[in-house]
Structure 1
């Protein structure tokens, strides 16, 4: 019987099902910020793919952004064609991803979630993203993350 957290186990199974090649790493402590994750992994903060779930009028929208960026919600809403992106409540996040804030992975959600990928992440050979729990991450590449999620690439920053 596995002692692995159910969120990590579900993520791992979905990663394998989709043909992902990344390594799942369970850290000794939860890493709720990109800076903490980067420190624990020994990488640049920009190589951390933060999974941010937004509420677009009751529809979930997942933005995978570089830990080096803040998402300009007005600019991104316009770029992806929604009226407004609002910060999702913890209940909304759990309902649409089956996971908790800080551990939202790009995969293994109860139903497909429209996903957008920060173009900045392409600058890193290895990208790290959450793996279904605040203490779990997995290694991937920009190209693989795009393939695994079916995401659209988006500029998350403010217009110049």
Structure 2
């Protein structure tokens, strides 16, 4: 399989950020996209990160957490200076990012949304995030992901 061209890969190429594309077979019956990616790529779930769009006090934010964990809504709210967070409506998340749920990449989104990467990402030389479509992840150094998304880091995941 060849690597797809997505807004994420184009943004990384424009920024000169190195990444490794990983294509895998996505099954239409899968509902936990991150776990599917980890299993298909033979990776530990702690190294594969899911991109979640949340609403914090009515404004959108992006949280990037390991698929092995859950998002701590209080922690993401605090990380972006808010009080209350909830998962964003999927249709709104798709509209604002330009990606479909299950393929939302933190890179190359349609509009600039404050982004927070879980602090555990620094435990790995590279992490895996969605490349912008289901069945496609990109491997990237956490520092490069932080730079290209202008993200901050915080402990936003819980087990």
Shift of the 23–78 alpha-carbon distance from structure 1 to 2, 3 Å rule, reads: same
Equivalence for 1:15: 12
Shift of the 4–35 alpha-carbon distance from structure 1 to 2, 3 Å rule, reads: closer
After TM superposition, which residue ranges in structure 1, 4 or more long, deviate above 4 angstroms? none
Q: Does 1:86 align with 2:86?
A: yes
Mapped partners of 2:57, 2:75: distance in 1: 16
Alpha-carbon deviation of 1:143?
Answer: 1.2
> TM-score, structure 2 length as denominator?
0.87
Cα RMSD after superposing both structures: 2.0
Instruction: Flag structure 2 segments of 5+ consecutive residues without an equivalent.
Output: none
Equivalence for 2:40: 40
Mapped partners of 1:104, 1:96: distance in 2: 10
Instruction: Flag structure 1 segments of 5+ consecutive residues without an equivalent.
Output: none
Q: Does 1:126 align with 2:126?
A: yes
Shift of the 98–153 alpha-carbon distance from structure 1 to 2, 3 Å rule, reads: same
